[in-house]
Amino acid sequence: MWWTRLKALIIKELLAILRDPKGRIILIVPPIAQLVVFSFAATLEVTNVDVAILNRDSGRWGQELVYRIHARPTFGRIFMVDSPDALRSAIDMQQVVAAIQIGPSFSRDIEASASADIQIIFDGRKSNASQIVAGYLAQIVGELAAETPAGKRAAPVSVGVTLRNWFNPNLNYKWFIVPNLVAAIALLIGLIVSALSIARERELGTFDQLLVSPLRPHEILAGKVIAPMMIGLVHMTIFILAARLVFSVPLRGSLLLLYGSGLFYLLSVIGVGLLISALSTTQQQAILGAFLFMVPAMLLSGFATPIENMPDWLQPLTRVNPLRYFLVIVIGVFIKAMPWQEIVSNTIPLALIAITTMGMASWLFRRRLE
Amino acid sequence: MRTETADQASDRCRRLATLVRKETWQILRDPSSILIAFVLPLILLFLFGFAVSLDANKTRVGLVVESKTPMTEDLAASFRASRYFSVADAYDRRSFEQDLVLGRIRGIIVITPTFVRDSVGRFGPQIQLIVDGSDPNTANFVQNYVQSTVSNWAAQRSTELATPSPAIRIEPRFWFNQELTSRDFLVPGAIAIVMTLVGTLLTSLVIAREWERGTMEAVMATPVTAAELLAGKIFPYFVLGMASMTLCVLVAVLLFRVPFRGSIFSLYLLSAAFLIPALGQGLLISAATKNQFLASQLALITGFLPSFLLSGFLFEIRSMPLPIQWLTTILPARHLIPSLLTVFLAGDLWPMFLRSIAFMLTVGAILFALAARNVSKRIG
Amino acid sequence: MDTFVRLTDIVKRFGHAPAALDTVSGSIRGGQITGLVGPDGAGKTTLIRLMTGLMLPDSGTVHVLDLDSRQNPAGIQASIGYMPQRFGLYEDLSVQENLNLYADLRGLPKEDRQAVFHELLTFTDLSRFAGRLAGKLSGGMKQKLGLACALLRKPRLLLLDEPSVGVDPISRRDLWKMVEDLAKQGVSVVWSTAYLDEAEACDCVFLLNQGKLLFTGAPADLTDRIKGRVFKLSGVEGRRRLILAKALDRPNVIDGVLQGEAIRLVMRAEEADGAPLEVASLGGKNAKLMITPPRFEDAFVDLLGGGPSGHSKLAESTKMRKAGDAGAVIEAKDLTKRFGDFTAAKDITFSIPRGEIFGLLGPNGAGKSTTFKMLCGLLKPTGGAGRVAGFDLRRDVAEARNRLGYMAQKFSLYGDLSVSQNLQFFAGVYGLRGDYRRERIALVSEIFSFAPYLEMSAKDLPLGLKQRLALACAVMHEPEALFLDEPTSGVDPITRREFWSHINGLVEKGVTVLVTTHFMDEAEYCDRISLIYRGQSIALGSPDELKARVASVDNSDPTMEDAFIALIKQQDQASLA
């Protein structure tokens, strides 16, 4: 008996979301567009940036440095300028991220084994890009320095670093961003679908229709949970496939674990959504509520920036954020082959969040009936 | 040509004034306006001021010194002293490997037993660095900071051993932001996003609401003209956007100590120029949808997210694929953010400002032309 | 220039749907109240919008005050007053602020303001509430404020779009008085409505149905067409619903409804003379058939070619529940609901035996919805008890819900789901399974002729079909009790009759019905009525009893609306005394 009722409810929830063309578009187009745009645009890798060079040295070392900078594929256009003013304005107007000034005595100093200086101006308004470009340039200059007469002599004390990047040897940024998007977009979809579900039925007047039927409150809630769960799982599957097939991200861990913990993740997200829904009386409030949760959840998840970089007093706040735990899991399963114990220990907080939010939502929901 | 009598002109002014007054009352009484214009901006600003930091300080790494000598201990000490790392020690690298998998540490620095021996050899001493590549960004930082710690150490040793200093010295100068504090550019960038919220999201929501509630129709059936109706909406939200920007600037300067090197005048001029396309977009969205839910979704997808991601605020536009670079040129936020950062960090730079303002006004003019076509005094 | 509005061959279409207005022509005169009358979706709002110049016709012309709406909409808007549906008020502005806003927009000179505001606030009796937010006003007060805003600069043409929706009869009478005063001063008033009884009070009506203009002229001209063909059958013996159904089967009866204890019948034109005697015999020996003055609704049904048959296939396929067993099916005992320190319903007591239609009547906000919601389990009572089919609404609420069917005020099925998906859903929710489920769905689909519409989204259905679908979903599980909340507001009279013939049929099979309504003539279909006012039941009895209670020398045959207003006034006086 209860199963007949619940089944009818779940089918209705799915149809209510998917049958309206506008609803379908909202559900399908933005996530795919986000996946594509984000994974290409949202990269902290810095390539193709422009630099300016003022070479006042007439010797071969200056030429050599310019040549090596040209040879680096990481740079975009390289502007050769002929005055410090031009250099300054190229930085001011943000035509370039870095401006390199090679002094007139550069080659002479090197040949004389004296210390040769080059000045590099970076645009501090783009602190991330300029820092990374500084790294590139330091490397080029370092290599050049090693070949100078003085450099050859000083070689013994320079310390080399043998580098091994585990999990992602070429530091391919897409391997990082795409699995993260799987989690972030599931948050977006799960939250919007569940936050709007009750508020919308209230506005349309269909909620009373449900309440006078023999459906019990927990059955109504179950229907409101299961339908978004199914949609969330379909989205996750699409994104996992895209990650694997379109973006060639390796999947090293167990898919079963990913889905298992994903289930709890979706539950916790939908719990938050239902809580928002139970708190709001109109769709507008539900939308704003979802937005108000989503922005901090994204920023406090470790997605944009590692949690350990946040101030100590802010870090505890991340513990109630489901995205935080699931990010560890997706990255763990996709590229780290994380052991199952660790996945489980990150799933437990998700289950706790789910239980708490659903409990509160259903309490509020019953109270609203009075 | 009809000439306008003084009476008609004064009617016009009075109608406009009353529409503005009405809108102001509504803003003050509607909690969601206050939420979007003042609470949300503060939350965003706080998050960008505190939570989002691109400066890796105190990144956790593991340090393995496989054979202890005064030299290796000295190198290890300089890692421990680094303000970028929080170092855990172990004798065996295998004990860290698990931590790396679990994400408890971001990298393992191994000073091998051959380190001392190599330091007199042909290729120089080597240390090993194993980095968690699953977060390429942090991996890059770890790599760079390890490299620079090692170089500094080596340079110091060199001077102690009286060998010549490195052949080429780089004098890096980070203009405008010598310490490279990420907060100093994140917070001004967040201000642009806040203005998008007020200009586009809030405006589209309130106008859509007037359609839904039927008040738009009642007002349209009065002698009010379409232009007055538009102006009556835009002006209050323009002021609100400016107010919310002012609040953010005060918080940025007073609380987050972001330097402010330009002039107040250019700040307001730039913000004003930005609000024109932002409001135009809000108007266009609401006129096209006449429905709060769709309006909010469209405002988020076409306003909020792009100004976040495609404006050069977090991600370098030059590094994006070409089609996306083209796409960014029509985004007002992409033109505002460099100028806004310049006002804060560099000072007034008029050639740059004038160019951004010209771009923003052009986009604004196009959006308004489209919106005006949609908001003629007609329904259905 | 007596003609204020001239409509010439107007056509207006939206998308691919049938024309919203199909070649409508006519003229509206000054100093009169012109009613735009018709069910929802007839084209009333579109016609009014065309007159404001906010919308242009696809073809044909609209001249308002001799201005062409295409060429000079601004000129039109400067001299009309318009109150859209939902009154066009800013709910977060106060009464005075709304008035100021519209005064400025309409360019009311500063020096005249005080006088005009004073006059309008007195006229609408809103002076006491000048500082209150419009959103916090009752429906009737909002309507008056909307009217005041439209009247600020004494318009020559006043357009009112469904001003009486959601407004109780008392406020409605006040409004009529105001509008009549305006008409006397030469203003031309256009009043659109779905309530057919309002049409009779207009000087002139435009009767619209599905975009077509069926009739223009004085309402009496229309009712005169059926003069002498409308009869009242009183003193009937036996079940009057069965008799009505039988009467409707007669080929010479084209329409019939219940009116308290009596039955109102309209005869076919050519047979009005001979047949009545034969019909009278249906009511038994003592039944009397008397000619009665025709109503606008009678004439409308006649114009549409007569009402549906009295047979309900739905009822025929419903199994008989044993009638006359002692227990009440719906029972309210001292039901009380408090929200904070506000008492929405106090000590409501009644019991409805099997096979009875019981009506809850009352002004908006009086507590009838609260009572209704408590009895179908949507609200938990603060005190007292309610039972449905013997199940207590506190303890066995799920059992009770299995036995009730519910139809909400506005259409509240899932608009995004198709007709068949809605049927499947409600069948599932009520636990119908297997063959039984298939049978029931097939049955209602056949009864209500859903076959061509099964795959259509419910929200795109014509209003009449929405109505049928809502009823189908409410009765699929064969409930013992039916809860109907304003079931037929805005639907055309044919659909309304069809709806009630199903309900009447079901009641004859032993289904019990609780209904709230605004329609005074619908109240007369009930066996008994409880009049709810200020949270209390102030009168309970059959419609005829209630009417008899207020009968007086000046008004020997009061209508239900007269009874309603009189009883409430009595109560007000009693509470003052």
Q: Is B22 on the interface with C (CB under 8 A)?
A: yes
Contacts 24+ apart (CB under 8 A), C135-140: C135/C91, C135/C92, C137/C95, C138/C364, C138/C365, C139/C166, C139/C167, C139/C168, C139/C171, C139/C364, C139/C365, C140/C167, C140/C168, C140/C170, C140/C171, C140/C172, C140/C174, C140/C363, C140/C364
The residue among C336, C373, C331, C377 whose CA lies nearest residue C354 is C331
**Whole-structure pTM value:** 0.84
CB atoms within 10 A of CB C573: 9
The residue among B335, B340, B240 whose CA lies nearest residue B282 is B240
Residues B97, B126 within the same domain? yes
Q: What is the ipTM of this complex?
A: 0.80
Nearest to A116 among B101, B168, B293 (CB): B168
Residue C188's SS3 state is strand
Range(s) of the domain holding residue B81: 59-160
Residues B94, B240 within the same domain? no
Number of domains chain B contains: 2
- Retrieve residue C573's tokens: 């006086």
C168 pLDDT above the threshold of 90: no
Range picked from A167-181, B25-39, C59-73 for highest mean pLDDT: C59-73
Instruction: Report yes or no: A319 and A356 within 8 Å, Cβ to Cβ.
Output: no
% of chain A exceeding 90 in pLDDT: 27
Residue B107's domain is classified under what CATH number? 3.40.1710.10
- Retrieve residue B66's tokens: 């496989």
Mean pLDDT throughout C517-543?
Answer: 89
The residue among A218, A161, A266 whose CA lies nearest residue A362 is A218
Sheet of B126-132, strand order? A160-166, B126-132, B107-111, B59-65, B85-90
Report d(CA A174, CA C283) in Å as an integer.
85
B161 pLDDT above the threshold of 60: no
CATH 1.10.260 matches C225-309: no
Task: Give the B:C interface size as CB pairs under 8 Å.
Answer: 83
Q: Which residue of B has its CA nearest to C84?
A: B218
Binding partners of B (≥3 Cβ pairs within 8 A): A, C
Cα torsion B44, B49, B55, B61 to 10°: value is -80
Instruction: For residue range B197-207, list pLDDT tens digits in order.
Output: 888 988 888 88
Instruction: For residue range C205-264, list pLDDT tens digits in order.
Output: 999 998 999 999 999 999 999 888 898 888 888 888 888 988 888 888 889 999 888 899
Report d(CA B219, CA A231) in Å as an integer.
42
Contact B169 A118 (CB under 8 A): yes
Residues B29, B151 within the same domain? no
Instruction: Report yes or no: C44 and C198 within 8 Å, Cβ to Cβ.
Output: no
Report d(CA B125, CA A338) in Å as an integer.
34
Predicted pLDDT at B166: 58
Q: Which residue of C has its CA nearest to A6?
A: C429
Rg over alpha carbons for chain B, rounded to the nearest Å, is: 28
- CATH architecture for segment(s) C3-219: 3-Layer(aba) Sandwich (3.40)
Q: Taking the CA atoms of A187, A190, A191 and A193 in sequence, report the sign of the dihedral they define.
A: positive
Task: Judge whether B380 lies within some domain.
Answer: no
Task: Judge whether B167 lies within some domain.
Answer: no
Instruction: Report yes or no: A109 and A56 within 8 Å, Cβ to Cβ.
Output: no
Nearest to B222 among C56, C102, C146 (CB): C102
Split at pLDDT 50, 70, 90, the class of B250 is: very high
Q: Which residues of chain C have a CB within 8 Å of the CB of B213?
A: 86, 91
Beta bridge partners of B110: B64, B128
Q: Environment class of residue C270 by beta-carbon count within 10 Å: exposed (0-12), middle (13-18) or buried (19+)? A: exposed
Nearest to C412 among A208, A213, A369 (CB): A208
If one compares A137 and B380, the residue with the highest pLDDT of the two is A137
Report d(CA A225, CA A96) in Å as an integer.
51
Nearest to C429 among A16, A213, A370 (CB): A213
CB contact residues (below 8 A), chain A span 306-325, against chain B: 306, 308-311, 314
Can you list the domains of chain A with their CATH numbers?
14-42+169-368 (no CATH), 49-157 (3.40.1710.10)
CB contact residues (below 8 A), chain C span 374-403, against chain A: 376-380, 398, 401-402
One-letter identity of residue C19: A
Same fold, C3-219 and C312-403+480-536: yes
A255 pLDDT above the threshold of 50: yes
Q: What is the DSSP string of B112-161?
A: -TTHHHHTTSSS--EEEEEEETTSHHHHHHHHHHHHHHHHHHHHHHHHHT
Instruction: For residue range B209-220, list pLDDT tens digits in order.
Output: 888 888 888 888
Mean pLDDT throughout A170-199?
Answer: 87
* Strand C342-353 relative to strand C328-339, pairing: antiparallel
Contact B219 C105 (CB under 8 A): yes
Q: Environment class of residue C322 by beta-carbon count within 10 Å: exposed (0-12), middle (13-18) or buried (19+)? A: exposed
Residues B19, B117 within the same domain? no
Q: Is A247 on the interface with B (CB under 8 A)?
A: no
Report d(CA C309, CA C315) in Å as an integer.
13
Task: Judge whether B5 lies within some domain.
Answer: no
Residues B315, B357 within the same domain? yes
Report d(CA C218, CA C134) in Å as an integer.
36
Q: Is B18 on the interface with C (CB under 8 A)?
A: yes
Predicted pLDDT at B162: 47
Predicted pLDDT at B117: 65
Instruction: Report yes or no: C501 and C310 within 8 Å, Cβ to Cβ.
Output: yes
Among A97-111, A259-273, B24-38, the minimum mean pLDDT is found in B24-38
Task: Judge whether B156 lies within some domain.
Answer: yes
Cα torsion B259, B261, B265, B266 to 10°: value is -100
Q: Taking the CA atoms of B267, B269, B273 and B275 in sequence, report the sign of the dihedral they define.
A: positive
Predicted pLDDT at C1: 47
CB contact residues (below 8 A), chain A span 326-365, against chain B: 328, 331-332, 335-339, 342
Report d(CA C378, CA A212) in Å as an integer.
6
Instruction: Report yes or no: C256 and C275 within 8 Å, Cβ to Cβ.
Output: no
The H or E element spanning position B324 is helix B322-328
Mean pLDDT throughout C515-529?
Answer: 87
Q: Which residues of chain A have a CB within 8 Å of the CB of C424?
A: 8, 11
Residue C247's SS3 state is helix
Instruction: For residue range A89-132, list pLDDT tens digits in order.
Output: 888 888 898 999 998 988 888 888 777 888 999 988 887 788 88
Q: Is A292 on the interface with B (CB under 8 A)?
A: yes
Domain coordinates of chain C in residue numbers? 3-219, 225-309, 312-403+480-536, 415-478
If one compares A139 and B53, the residue with the highest pLDDT of the two is A139
Rounded to a whole number, what is the distance in Å from the CA of C4 to chain B's nearest CA? 17
Q: Which residues of chain C have a CB within 8 Å of the CB of A219?
A: none
Instruction: For residue range C403-443, list pLDDT tens digits in order.
Output: 899 998 777 788 888 999 999 999 998 888 889 999 999 99
CATH 3.40.50.300 matches C312-403+480-536: yes
Contact C427 A8 (CB under 8 A): yes
Q: Environment class of residue C152 by beta-carbon count within 10 Å: exposed (0-12), middle (13-18) or buried (19+)? A: buried
Q: Is A284 on the interface with B (CB under 8 A)?
A: yes
Nearest to A5 among C377, C408, C429 (CB): C429
If one compares B75 and B159, the residue with the highest pLDDT of the two is B75
Split at pLDDT 50, 70, 90, the class of B122 is: low
Q: Which residue of A has its CA nearest to B342?
A: A125
Split at pLDDT 50, 70, 90, the class of B1 is: very low
Q: Which residues of chain B have a CB within 8 Å of the CB of A120?
A: 170-173
